[in-house]
Amino acid sequence: MRVINFNPGPAGLPTAALERARDELLDFQGTGMSIIEHSHRGKAFEAVHNETLALVKELLAVPDTHEILFLQGGASQQFAQVPMNFLPQGGSADYVVTGGWSEKAVDEARYYGTPRIAANTVDKDKRFTRIPTQAELQLDPKAAYVHMTSNNTLFGTQWHTFPEVGQVPLVADMSSDILWKPIDVSRFALIYAGAQKNIGPSGIVLVLVEKSFLAKGRKDIPKIFRYTTYAENNSLYNTPPTFSIYLCRNVLAWIKGVGGLKQVEAWNREKGELLYAAIDRNAGFYRAPVEKASRSYMNVVFRLPDEKLEEAFVAEGARAGMVGLKGHRITGGIRVSLYNAVTVDHVKTLVSFMDDFAKRNG
């Protein structure tokens, strides 16, 4: 039996996507072998690869101005690869720091040039509980780009209106909320997202990059790290993680099958509202540290009156078939990740457990 999986990443995948992989595993479409065993230059894999790219284009309505790439090395490699490609010698880039992942992105940029901090919402306890306002952003019109993290996986905050950055290219790490709803891709020069939260298995990163921005990329870096190398080779410059791409295909096809991102957004909003309502109606027991306007629909964090109760909550939750409730090691508390594979019914089960737990322990 499958558990209710609230893991932060790698996260649960839609059962239908895994069942399809199971059914096709030993003999992919009558070829007598698994997709894993096919050449990345062969017809069978090429079709899967192109279907995956086409599904990304369709679901996110990616305009023709943007390339769709699959890269390796995780989102963490993008922290380095973005400045490596787009920070010119002696140039600077603006970073909006809203959590642990943006801090890591800044640290990597320091190896290539000057990252300016356009805003930093860390508080005196080293916590991030909100997204900055537009007025708070100290933007440099000469910056090579502005980097932001659309959803803060650790602290449970999310941008609900993307910032205005003028003519400066906007770069976003969307690892933990890509595909949670439709977005306007044309506002971004570059979007990157590690797959293991909302797209598929770990080991692969989706990149959407504007062609005019690509043209500004540095050419004095190794080919393997240039975005243009992947753009010029349909992301098949070297051997890609073929099985990961295949599984992304299954997840994306599932999204399309259930009605696309409009439907997914409706479910995600319902899930988030159910869970925040449960926290708020038991406010004497559950405490949500994040400012209401910055609450994330993907990662919901909250505290209980003390750590012993938090441990009991996680343990009882696991006995009731719910895993992944423990907060990040640096934040403590509880974190519930509500990625696309989590259903409204899963959240209803959690919420009734929460009401009951509060009644028994409050």
Ligand X SMILES: *Cc1c(COP(=O)(O)O)cnc(C)c1O
**DSSP 8-state class, residue 122:** B
242 assigned to a ligand binding site: no
Smallest gap from Cβ 251 to ligand X, in A, equals: 16
Question: Is 160 or 211 the residue whose CB approaches ligand X more closely?
Answer: 160
75 assigned to a ligand binding site: yes
* # of chain residues touching ligand X (CB under 6 A): 13
Closest-approach residue to ligand X (CB): 74
What residues between 147 and 166 interact with ligand X by CB under 6 A? 149, 153
Give whole-number Cα distances, 8 to 31, 121, 147, 236, 299, in Å. Answer: 36, 22, 22, 29, 8
196 assigned to a ligand binding site: yes
Looking at this protein, which amino acid is placed at residue 204?
Answer: I
Decide: 302 and 279 in contact? Cβ < 8 Å: yes
- Binding characters for ligand X, 97-126, by CB under 6 A (x = yes): ----x-------------------------
Out of 175, 242, 244, 331, point to the residue binding ligand X (CB under 6 A).
175
Question: Is 159 or 302 the residue whose CB approaches ligand X more closely?
Answer: 159
**DSSP 8-state class, residue 41:** T
How far apart are the C-alpha atoms of 230 and 237, rounded to whole Å?
Answer: 6
Question: Is 7 or 228 the residue whose CB approaches ligand X more closely?
Answer: 7
Return the number of other C-beta atoms located less than 10 Å from residue 186's C-beta. 12
Q: Is 137 helix (H, G, I), strand (E, B) or coil?
A: coil
On the 0-12 / 13-18 / 19+ scale of CB atoms within 10 A, 314 is middle
Question: Is 76 or 114 the residue whose CB approaches ligand X more closely?
Answer: 76
Of 164, 206, 236, 221, the C-alpha closest to 66 is 206
153 assigned to a ligand binding site: yes
How far apart are the C-alpha atoms of 73 and 67, rounded to whole Å?
Answer: 19
Question: Is 44 or 106 the residue whose CB approaches ligand X more closely?
Answer: 106
Smallest gap from Cβ 101 to ligand X, in A, equals: 4
Smallest gap from Cβ 155 to ligand X, in A, equals: 11
Question: Is 114 or 202 the residue whose CB approaches ligand X more closely?
Answer: 202
176 assigned to a ligand binding site: no
How far apart are the C-alpha atoms of 340 and 58, rounded to whole Å?
Answer: 17
2 assigned to a ligand binding site: no
Is residue 176 close enough to count as binding ligand X by CB under 6 A? yes
The Cα angle at residue 90 between residues 86 and 92, in degrees rounded to 5: 55
295 assigned to a ligand binding site: no
Phi, psi of 68 (to 5 degrees): -110, 120
254 assigned to a ligand binding site: no
Smallest gap from Cβ 302 to ligand X, in A, equals: 19
Looking at this protein, which amino acid is placed at residue 169?
Answer: P
Smallest gap from Cβ 127 to ligand X, in A, equals: 17
**DSSP 8-state class, residue 125:** T
Of 197, 206, 172, the C-alpha closest to 186 is 172
Active-site annotation, residues: 101, 173, 197
Return the number of other C-beta atoms located less than 10 Å from residue 244's C-beta. 20
What residues between 27 and 86 interact with ligand X by CB under 6 A? 74-76
How far apart are the C-alpha atoms of 92 and 36, rounded to whole Å?
Answer: 42
- Binding characters for ligand X, 178-207, by CB under 6 A (x = yes): ----------------x--x----x-----
Question: Is 40 or 328 the residue whose CB approaches ligand X more closely?
Answer: 328
How far apart are the C-alpha atoms of 57 and 63, rounded to whole Å?
Answer: 8
Decide: 217 and 112 in contact? Cβ < 8 Å: no
What residues between 219 and 278 interact with ligand X by CB under 6 A? none
Out of 5, 6, 9, 264, point to the residue binding ligand X (CB under 6 A).
9
The binding site consists of: 41, 75-76, 101, 153, 173, 196, 238-239
Q: Name the residues that contact ligand X, by CB under 6 A.
A: 9, 74-76, 101, 149, 153, 173, 175-176, 194, 197, 202
The binding site for L-glutamate consists of: 41
